[in-house]
Structure 1
Amino acid sequence: MGNRRRVAERRKTRPAVVGGMIAVVVVGAGFGVYALTGGSAADDRTSATSSSGDNKPKVKTGPLSAKEVQSASTTFLTSWQTGKVTQAAAVTSDSTAATALLTGYTKDAHIKDVTLTAGTRTGDKVPFSVKGTVSYKGTTKPLAYESSLTVVRNKETGKPQVDWHSSVVHPDLKDGDTLVTGESGTPPVKAYDRDGGELTTAKYASLGPVLDGLREKYGKTAGGKAGIELQVVRGKASQKAKLSDKTLLTMSKGTPGKVKTTLSPTFQAAAERQVAAKARSSVVVIRPSTGEILAVANNSRSFNVAFQGSLAPGSTMKVVTSTMLFEKGLVKPDQSHPCPKTYKLAGWTFHNDDDSEIKQGSFKLAFGASCNNAFINFAPKLSNSDLTKEAQQVYGLGLNNWAIGVPTFDGSIPVQSGAQMGASLIGQGGVRMNPLNMASVSATVESGVFRQPYLVSPDVDHRTLAKASRTMSAQTQGWLKEVMRYTAGYGTASKAMSGVYGDVGAKTGSAEVDGQKKPNGWFTAYRGDLAAAGVVQAGGHGGDTAGPIVAALLKMG
């Protein structure tokens, strides 16, 4: 065994106890520092020569000790707080990116007098609070927020370091984003519902991303004047994900312009109540006859899953698949069609939920029971592009050309082959949707025509709405409404749709996600001139999770 030695640095001052935690006060650069202590980064440095006598130091491996986590986090926080950017960046996993963002924190965001207070460590994660002052051209305002960091072990050196992401500096930052204080490039807007009431996050908690999107789209044309703000300015990756710039602190208010939306105050308030009661839920309500969006709500206030989510839609995709099968003349609702317990395709074995099967029954029964293999066993009769074409041409999906007034993800139905193509037929594989997309699917079935959903009337800015290249036949529409009506009355959607009367149709979905214990629960439905869709991520079966949310909103029509 090689010799082992431990190098430790002795403290010259005794740590003080502040608020029940050990803290060290560092004087200098006009900062007051309060951070968890635990010795310098050198306290846990251990080296050893290899047993082979080559004198190469062994790299420390294994889980981090509490002392290592405390040491790395203290070094980082103390260095950042005292303005020693290079030292702070050196203890991260990406010193270049850390240096750039921490430098910009002072120079571009104009944040000074920073105090960082570490909280109680949980494993390798250390939460901390930030207090500072934003000062720009004679105007100052206090800034306070919560953040956290995670300490990891460097694989090459074995030393503990802060796992660098921009969110360490501020939780609203994605990697590549920056913080900037100055005259905002986009004037503020005041958004209004269809009845003239102002839309605010105080009234509708989840509308933050929507309001940000409206400002980005209409701020320069709505007649407003820019103010001075601390903003998250999105980088290339965030722009690609269609994330809007975000205001964190208003230094001086500009003059807002005005934008009127199609949102209904009644439906929006109800949608907010529904998602508030169910974690990770999202919902959208549409008017099929016009495409007007009446409500959009998310349990999360930071990301608009309802408009921008990209999730496998599970069995709700069977509405689109059935449209294709009906148009190709491969099946009719009352035609006998088996749903075997298992089905093999291109080396994969597909199973139904709970390993169920339908030996003798109609396609309508299989649709209502959401029996997977009744759809996958059509794969040998289909080309790889059939589902893609159906989604694009009839439902307007996957073309990335919707113009609703704020950023959206318009669905993705890639051309696939073999088992992946089979999985696409039941909304898995590479298929990706969100509640806006699936509400539009139900709206298209109800009206027989795709009308691109919109949040702001195209009359406001004369933009062109997306159109489908063809319309489903009246017979196909009739058959779709037949199978969806059966599902709402007798199938997997019947429990949720109980008490929803009139011209109704519905489809449930459960989408498996790798590493997730419960599937994402989906539900899409219509009632007369209303269509809605929702998702509850990691919630379980759609009929039990998203179903009650959608049904409650349809009952209001």
Structure 2
Amino acid sequence: MRSGAKVAVIGGVFAVVVGGVGYGAYNVLDGLGDSGVGGGSDAKTTSQEVRTGPVTKDEIAQTSKNFLAAWAKGDAEVASKLTNNAADAASVLTQYSESAHVTKAVITPGAATGSKVPYTVRATVSYKGKTKTWSYDSDLTVVRGLTTGHALVDWKPSVIHPELREGETLETGESSTASIEAVDRNGQVLSKEKYPSLGGILDELRKKYGEKAGGTTGIETWINSANADGVDKTLLTLVKGKPGRVTTTLDAKIQAAAEAAVKKFDKSSVAAVEPSSGAIRAIANNPANGFEPARSAAVAPGSTMKIITAAMIIQNGLGSANSPVKCPSTVPWEGVTFHNLDEFSMPAPTLKTAFARSCNTAFIKPVLPLGDKRDTALHDEAGQYFGIGQVWRTGIATVDGKVPASEGSETAASFIGQGKIQMNPLNMASVTATAAHGQFLQPYIVPKSLDNRTFATANPLPGGVSAQLKEMLHYTATAPEGTATQAMASVGGDKGAKTGSSEIDGHATSDSWFTGYSNDLAAAALVQSGGHGGDAAGPVVAAVLLAGP
């Protein structure tokens, strides 16, 4: 049916108007031919003046409705011409019906925020006589075409599904990996529906251990990873395979607390481990899908790094928890001046009180006597006693922390968690667990007996060092001047903590870091652009610790 024909609006929810003809845009539509859609892909035309400037409210509404209508109908050609990358859009939109086997789509848009239009997709997937409803949310952005001046959908694969990335494909069929039933340490079933942050982890555990656990395949809709060794993401299960049982170290109660805690802050993540065993008890991220900073970030940890720096100072005979140190407002190091927050100073601090106030200069000045060892001392301490820089085989993909040898001003920066230091919450939770337990035990999420992998090891902290670190962490979490005291006020038991904030190039606000322990649970959190450690990351860690033993 061409653009001159009349089509009834389906359901009366809304209509898009193209060439004077109304189309119901909430169902699989009839009658939306390519001559009935204005706009076109971003190819230059000469028949009219090219429009410039920001897209208007009307253009946003019209273009988004037209695109969603064509997509809902299953007309990949028409929908793709309403984007600024017709070729790539047509390929993904065609997959939606031909590879993902979507036979129907009802798309409900929400109110636009600027040029961004959110919507809910309620699709029907059918494969070999099996049918199931598939619902999810996504959004699109309308932009001005660079050559045509038309208002167009800014094409990216996430327009079709929020977890779809460049180079990935959608497919429905018999799964290539065996199903699993992942359970926590107490036998409670873990699902991505109940614990959204575990989606990627559960997919990875399935790929690695499903067959070993005796699982069989089912019929599913999934995203094919763009990497040959990547993990496919299951989006919908039409027919369940027989699941093999995989027991993890996770604790459902602690995981639930972590999931709730990260939802309070955008771009937040947290990990928790058990100091006495290294068992990972929780991993959570907000947003819950896509990149997982809790186990995969590699960013500066700020002053939480002072846990390792303090251990280095004590072990090298440069100070102790209760020995006096100097905390001037600034300290020079090879042509660079390092500052305390708001240029504060302390008149007569000990290493413990300087740690509690997070005095940067007090953790740079004592290291000056190390001479030639200054550039490698922190690297050696981190690797030999905290397991940082070694290869962790946790049972899932994780990014190992890095404390490289340095030189010049970067050496001083590394002592306060800046420079080339790279950590994520799982790394810092392990650092805190090591300080509390006195011995590094590599974090893991499934037992090594499952695949006979080798765990990383490190030397026990020398006598007295762990006790002093615990004393400093406890003081920071309980003393009136401690930067972690407010956040840890509700946490009971044997406890300790350290705050941190790290400056990131191009970010107006620093990242918020916090790490702490209570009894036999250690946790660390990162809130990107969250500011002071105690303000954002602190409450996340406290909520997780409260769920522990």
TM-score normalized with structure 2 length: 0.84
Moved more, 85-94 or 482-491: 85-94
Of 91, 108, 122, the residue aligned with 2:113 is: 122
Residue 155 of structure 2 corresponds to residue 168 of structure 1: no
Of 336, 359, 362, the residue aligned with 1:371 is: 359
2:321: which partner in 1?
333
Cα distance between partner residues in 1 of 2:36 and 2:109: 12
Cα distance between partner residues in 2 of 1:196 and 1:258: 10
Q: Any residues of structure 2 matched to 1:265-414 within 5 Å, and which?
A: 265-275=252-262, 280-303=267-290, 304-345=292-333, 348-377=336-365, 381=371, 383-399=374-390, 401-414=391-404
Q: Report if the CA contact (8 A) 1:33-1:115 is conserved.
A: no
After superposition, the Cα gap between the structure-2 partners of 1:124 and 1:325, relative to the gap in structure 1 and judged at 3 Å, is: same
Moved more, 96-105 or 188-197: 96-105
Give the gaps of 5 or more residues in structure 2.
Answer: none
2:486: which partner in 1?
495
Q: Any residues of structure 2 matched to 1:95-494 within 5 Å, and which?
A: 95-155=86-146, 158-201=149-192, 203-204=194-195, 206-236=197-227, 239=230, 244-275=231-262, 280-303=267-290, 304-345=292-333, 348-377=336-365, 381=371, 383-399=374-390, 401-468=391-458, 470-490=459-479, 491-494=482-485
Cα distance between partner residues in 2 of 1:288 and 1:44: 57
Q: Any residues of structure 2 matched to 1:19-58 within 5 Å, and which?
A: 19-20=13-14, 22-23=16-17, 24-25=22-23, 31-32=29-30, 40-41=38-39
Cα distance between partner residues in 2 of 1:264 and 1:152: 45
Letter in 2 for 1:402: W
Tell me, what secondary structure is at the counterpart of 1:161? strand
1:52: which partner in 2?
none
1:7: which partner in 2?
none
- How far apart are residue 245 of structure 1 and its match? 2.3
Deviations 1:466-490 (A, max 9, x none): 223x443224333323322332232
- How far apart are residue 332 of structure 1 and its match? 3.2
Q: Report if the CA contact (8 A) 1:33-1:78 is conserved.
A: no
Cα distance between partner residues in 1 of 2:362 and 2:60: 53
Give the gaps of 5 or more residues in structure 1.
Answer: 1-10, 50-56
Cα distance between partner residues in 1 of 2:197 and 2:176: 24
Q: Report if the CA contact (8 A) 1:46-1:60 is conserved.
A: no
- How far apart are residue 70 of structure 1 and its match? 4.2
- How far apart are residue 268 of structure 1 and its match? 3.6
Q: Report if the CA contact (8 A) 1:388-1:413 is conserved.
A: yes
- How far apart are residue 86 of structure 1 and its match? 4.5
Q: Report if the CA contact (8 A) 2:318-2:367 is conserved.
A: no
Deviations 1:392-451 (A, max 9, x none): 33222244x222222222223345544444333222334332222111101111222211
Of 508, 517, 532, the residue aligned with 1:541 is: 532
Tell me, what secondary structure is at the counterpart of 1:474? coil
- How far apart are residue 260 of structure 1 and its match? 1.0
After superposition, the Cα gap between the structure-2 partners of 1:75 and 1:226, relative to the gap in structure 1 and judged at 3 Å, is: same
Q: How many residues align?
A: 533
After superposition, the Cα gap between the structure-2 partners of 1:155 and 1:326, relative to the gap in structure 1 and judged at 3 Å, is: farther
Deviations 1:346-365 (A, max 9, x none): 66543322321224322222
- How far apart are residue 230 of structure 1 and its match? 0.3
TM-score normalized with structure 1 length: 0.83
Q: Report if the CA contact (8 A) 2:37-2:78 is conserved.
A: no
Cα distance between partner residues in 1 of 2:504 and 2:473: 25
Letter in 1 for 2:270: V
Deviations 1:356-403 (A, max 9, x none): 12243222222111012323446765654543443333222244x222
Letter in 2 for 1:340: P
Cα distance between partner residues in 1 of 2:31 and 2:442: 54
Letter in 2 for 1:496: A
Cα distance between partner residues in 2 of 1:44 and 1:255: 48
1:6: which partner in 2?
none
- How far apart are residue 541 of structure 1 and its match? 2.5
Q: Report if the CA contact (8 A) 2:388-2:402 is conserved.
A: yes
